Structures are given as structure tokens and as C-alpha cells.
Amino acid sequence: MEVTPRTPAVPEQHVPDTPQDYSLPICFGDSIVLSSPDFGHAFLRGADATLSPGLIIEQLTEDAASPAISPHALHECPFKVLPAARYSARNEFAKALRIAGVDSIEGWRAKLEGDDTRMPALEDLEAAMLKEEEANEGDAEAFKGRAIVYGEPVRLLHVYSKRLLTAAAKASKTAPLCMLLNLTPQGTPDSHFVLHAPGRVLSKGDRVRGCASVQLRCERFDTLSMAVSAGGASGPQQQGSHPMVVDVMEVCLSTTPSTFLVQIYGLSRDRP
């Protein structure tokens, strides 16, 4: 099957062809790339919104994975690291809308079918949500350039699609014992992940650095961590991947975590 290359939404960049500085801490606002050493040259990639699952890992041929060449669709691999956010006001507003028979926040006024009696209360909840979103944006700006420490909740924004990595709170179709991961336009409390260093004894405040081996635990479901589902392999052509992709596997949440190598893809301009 012939595959039509996708046009990058961001400028093409490369994982450096020289070893990264292991002492360089990863900061909020940086973009990172995650790969799986357990599956050779395998890079985490956010799938198209129309595909399920929403998070996959592509195992590449050795030539395709060469840093000098740049892995296929590397522009679809980076995730920007953002601080944790508040979602309580948004959840309250969405809950009130559901009670009113409105299934989404977008265009909610038009869906009330002229019922003005509930409008003032809903507008107050909407105002609280917008204030919360403004506070989240302020936190994201204030945290830019600050080093990330182990055990701290973060959000991962898929740079290509501008969507947040989020636990879907339902079973994966390819791995029924695992929880599905999706990319969602609006974050939820299920969008918070905590980085851990497997096999290492850490001190309080230890920073996450480039080329570190990490495990990513979902803060909301604290017994579940990101894992490569080898049993959920679907094959490169079924997912519409490049011919140099050897295999495509789902990344989901599991009680058996996988270890990922985290590399810095792009530095925040706000770094000290």
C-alpha cells in the first residue's frame, strides 16, 4: 500500500547526532521525545485523531532510526512538558450542562432550546471555568524554564496535534487488561503523569535530565503506568505508517510499566 507522507505542522528537527548532555535538566516548556529501549529503535508517536488507539510506538529499521537521518514522522513524536492544571471548575460546568441535557461545552447556549431559567447559573459556572483556565495559562507561563523533578505531576502536550495525553478510563481494544490512552483537546484530571526513575534511589528535588530512563505513572490511576503492549501490535500498514516502520504497537496504561528513554527535542526559550 502506497503511503502519502504527511506534511509537518512544525519545522523539521532532529534528535542530535551527538550524545546529549546528560547533565542538562528537562524544564517546563521543553519538548521531549520518548523511545523504548526494549523494542530497539522504537519511538512514541501520537496517532491521528481518527485512529484508535491514540498513542502508539513505531519500531523503525536501524537506518530509519539513525539520528543523522531523523526518524520517520519525528515531527509527530515530540511532547511539550507542561505543569499540572486545575480542572474542578470545568468539571462542575460540564456536570451542570449534562443535567440540563447538554452533552458538550462547545455551543452550549444554542443547545438549551430557549430555556432561560438555567442560563444565569450556567453562565456563572462558565465564568468560573474561564477564570480557572486563565489561572492555568498563568501557571504554564510562570513554570516555563523551571527544571522538572521526579515525583512531580506534569502534562504532556502532543506538539503536532496540540492535544493532551489523557487516560481514557476504559479498556484498550488491543489489550483488554490495559487502559486506553488518548489525545484530547481539553485536559482532565486524567492528563497528569508522574515521572519515576526505575531502580534508582532518589533524593527530594532530584531533577529529570536528558537521556534519563523513566517510567510514567498516571496520577489519577496511581497503580497504572505507561506500557508498550507487545500483544497489541497491529502492523505498520494497518496504521498507515511509513514503509521503514517495522512494527506498530499500542502504548497504554498497565500495572506492568515499561521504561522509556527521554530525550530533549526542543529547548524552551525561557530556560535560565
- Residue 232 inside a domain? The answer is yes
Same domain, 97 and 158: no
pLDDT per residue, tens digit, the chain (272 aa), is 333 333 333 333 444 443 456 679 999 999 999 998 888 778 888 865 445 556 888 777 665 555 444 444 577 889 999 999 999 999 999 999 999 888 889 889 888 876 678 889 999 999 999 999 999 999 999 999 999 999 999 999 999 889 999 998 888 877 888 998 989 888 899 999 999 999 888 888 899 999 999 999 999 999 999 999 865 545 444 444 566 677 788 899 999 999 999 999 889 888 87
- Residue 17 inside a domain? The answer is no
Positive or negative: CA dihedral 113, 92, 253, 197 = positive
> Residue 208, Cβ neighbours under 10 Å: how many?
22
Burial of 32 from C-beta contacts in 10 A (0-12 / 13-18 / 19+): buried
Domain that holds residue 137: 88-142
Same domain, 42 and 106: no
Same domain, 186 and 107: no
Same domain, 231 and 101: no
What is the CATH number for 223? Answer: 2.80.10.50
Same domain, 187 and 249: yes
- Residue 7 inside a domain? The answer is no
Same domain, 232 and 158: yes
- Residue 248 inside a domain? The answer is yes
Q: How many domains does the chain have?
A: 2
Question: Is the full-model pTM beyond 0.85?
Answer: no
Rounded CA-CA distance 153/216 in Å is: 10
pLDDT, residue 111, reads: 83
Output the CA–CA distances (angstroms, integers) from residue 138 to 11, 63, 80, 270, in the order listed.
26, 43, 16, 14
Same domain, 124 and 209: no
Same domain, 58 and 108: no
- Residue 19 inside a domain? The answer is no
- Residue 68 inside a domain? The answer is yes
